[in-house]
Amino acid sequence: MAKSFLFETITLTSNGEIFLKMQKLSSDGDILGKHYVCFYPGIDPEQTATDANVSIIDLGFGQIPTDFVARVKTIAQSAWTDAVIAAYQATT
């Protein structure tokens, strides 16, 4: 078994950011710590996951599981209205 991730939580912040929290597991299944990925309003969640996977793979882990990204996409589709995206972009 390779190093992997275990889904923990998804948090939607008041400004529309979505945080995916995962536990990092060793090849023996031991918990090594936590890993977070932030998804920003208006940016394609799949692109964010692809970008995050570059550093994750360098650490010896596989990619973020597609079902985790699918959960984020579902939340983003309902939470990221045009108004939320515009308000977020105005603050960055």
CA atoms of 9 and 19, how far apart (whole Å):
8
Q: What is the pLDDT of residues 34-56, one digit of tens each?
A: 999 999 999 999 999 999 999 88
Sheet containing strand 31-39, strands side by side? 4-12, 18-25, 31-39
The pLDDT of residue 1 is 66
Task: Identify whether the C-beta of residue 12 lies closer than 8 Å to the C-beta of residue 23.
Answer: no
Q: What per-residue confidence (pLDDT) applies to 89? A: 95
Tokens of 66: 């597609």
Collect the ranges in the chain with pLDDT lower than 70.
1
pTM of the model as a whole: 0.89
Q: How far apart are CA 25 and CA 39, in angstroms?
A: 22
